[in-house]
Amino acid sequence: MKKTYKVGVIGATGMVGQRFLTLLSSHPWFQVEAIAASPRSAGKPYHEAVGKKWCMDTDIPENVRDMIVMDATGDVEKIASMVDFVFCAVDMKKDEIKALEERYAKAECPVVSNNSAHRHTPDVPMVIPELNAEHIQIIPAQRKRLGTKRGFIAVKSNCSLQSYVPALYPLSPFGVQDVLVCTYQAISGAGKTFETWPEMVDNVIPYIGGEEEKSEQEPLKIWGKIEGDVIKPATSPNFTAQCLRVPVSNGHMGAVFVRFQNKPSKEEILSVWKNFKGRAQELELPSAPKQFLHYFEENDMPQTRLNRMLENGMAISIGRLREDTQYDYKFVCLSHNTLRGAAGGAVLLAELLCAEGYMD
Ligand SMILES: NC(=O)c1ccc[n+]([C@@H]2O[C@H](COP(=O)([O-])OP(=O)(O)OC[C@H]3O[C@@H](n4cnc5c(N)ncnc54)[C@H](OP(=O)(O)O)[C@@H]3O)[C@@H](O)[C@H]2O)c1
C-alpha cells in the first residue's frame, strides 16, 4: 500500500460529508484533494457553500475552508483524475446515485459509499470491517463486469443496524435464529438538527421511510457468502424491526430480543463479546476501536449521551443482557450513527481496502 492517498468527498456539504471532512482533516493516510456537491454549491469556496448548514462541534477544518467545491455530476472525470478514490454521501434519487457511482468507478476511481443505492447490487460488497471483511474479495468480479482495472464500488450498511448486527454476528456459532429489534434513532440520521427539525423537540415519530426493510434485509447480505461472481445473501437469521425517530441529536439505540438454535449461557455470550476481534483490529487500522464491543454491567447503561463517543464513536456499547420470557435473551445496544454508522464506518472500510491492496 501507499503511504498516503488523495481522496475526494462527494456530498461534502451534507451532514455525512461534514463528518468526513472533520475525520479526514487529521487522518494519517488520507488527504482531501477534491470536494464536490450539487450545482448549487459548485464554484463556491467550501465555507460559503456550506454556510449555516455546518453543524459539527468543531470549526470547518482549515485544509478545506477555502477549497472550491466542484460539481459532483459535472466534474466526474476531473475529480477522478485528481484523487485515488472518493467517499460518496449524496441526497439524490436512487437511480441517479447508482449511475453517478458507476460513472466514478468506470473513470477508474474507486467509490466508498454511504448511500443505499448499491447495497443490494450482488457484486458490490457491503462491509462492516470487523464482521465480513472477506466480502471485499468480490471486487475482481465487479471490476470484470464494469470493465475497469482499478474502479469499483464498496458500500457500508445502513446506520440503523450498526448497533445490533455487531452484537449478534459474533454469536453465529450458537445459531442466531430469530431476532426482534426496535430501534430508537437520532435526528442526524435524517441529516437534521433540532434547529432544522423543530417538530422533533419533545416528540417521537413512529415511522422512518424504508428503514424497517433495510434493518431486516441488509443483515442477510452481511451474513452472506461469496458464490462465484456474487454475494449470496443468507436466508437466516429472521429479522423483524420497528424503527422510531426519537429526540436525540446523535446515536442510534436498539432493543433486541434473540432466539438461538443452541441457547448459550449468559457467561458464554459475555465472553464472546469481550474477546471478539475482527480484521480491522488484526490489521490495526487507524480508525478501528481497540475493543469493538463494550459490555456495561450497570442496569441503566449504555446511555446515548454518555456512551455514543466511546472509542471516538467507533465502538459498540451493549448492556442489560438478560433472559426473556418469549425469546432466549434480550439486551440493548448503541452506536454513533454518523461516526460508526456513516462517515467513520466508511473511513474504516477505506482503510481496510487500502491495507488489503485494493486502492493501489
Ligand atoms: N445522516 C446519516 O446518519 C446517514 C447515515 C448513513 C447513510 N446516510 C446516507 O448518506 C447520504 C447523505 O446523507 P446526509 O444526511 O449527509 O444528507 P444531506 O445532509 O442532505 O446532504 C446531501 C448532500 O448531497 C448533495 N446533493 C444534493 N443534491 C445533489 C445533486 N443533484 N448532485 C450532487 N450532489 C447533490 C448536497 O449538496 P448541496 O449542499 O449542494 O445541496 C449535500 O452535499 C444519503 O444517501 C443518506 O441516506 C446518512
Q: Is 291 exposed, middle or buried (0-12, 13-18, 19+ CB in 10 A)?
A: middle
Residue 302: is the preceding peptide bond cis (ω within 30°)?
A: yes
Mutate to test the pocket of ligand 1, among 67, 68, 76, 90 (most ligand atoms within 8 A of CB): 90
Nearest CA to ligand 1 atom 3: 189
Distance, CA of 62 to CA of 60 (rounded, Å): 6
Asked if residue 16 has its Cβ within 6 Å of ligand 1, the reply is: yes
CATH class of the domain defined by 160-336: alpha beta
For the chain, give the number of residues: 360
Residues of the chain with CATH 3.30.360.10: 160-336
224-274: per-residue pLDDT in tens?
A: 999 999 999 999 999 999 999 999 999 999 999 999 999 999 999 999 999
Crossing angle of helices 15-24 and 344-355, rounded to 10°: 50
Q: What is the pLDDT of residue 122?
A: 98
In testing the pocket of ligand 1, which one of 38, 67, 335 has its CB within 8 Å of the most ligand atoms? 38
CA distance linking residue 52 with residue 56, whole number of Å: 11
**Residue range(s) in the chain whose domain bears CATH number 3.40.50.720:** 5-158+342-355
**Catalytic site residue from 88, 109, 159, 243:** 159
Query: Is 243 designated active site?
Result: no
- pLDDT at position 126: 98
pLDDT, one tens digit per residue, over 103-158 is 999 999 999 999 999 999 999 999 999 999 999 999 999 999 999 999 999 999 99
Distance CA 196, CA 200 (A): 9
Classify 118 as helix, strand or coil: coil
The pTM of this model reads 0.97
- Domain 5-158+342-355 class in CATH: alpha beta
- Give me 43's grid cell: 464554484
Q: Is residue 120 flagged as an active site residue?
A: no
CB 355, CB 30: distance < 8 Å: no
Beta carbons of 10 and 50 less than 8 angstroms apart? no
Q: Which of 83, 122, 74, 346 is nearest to 221 (CA)?
A: 122
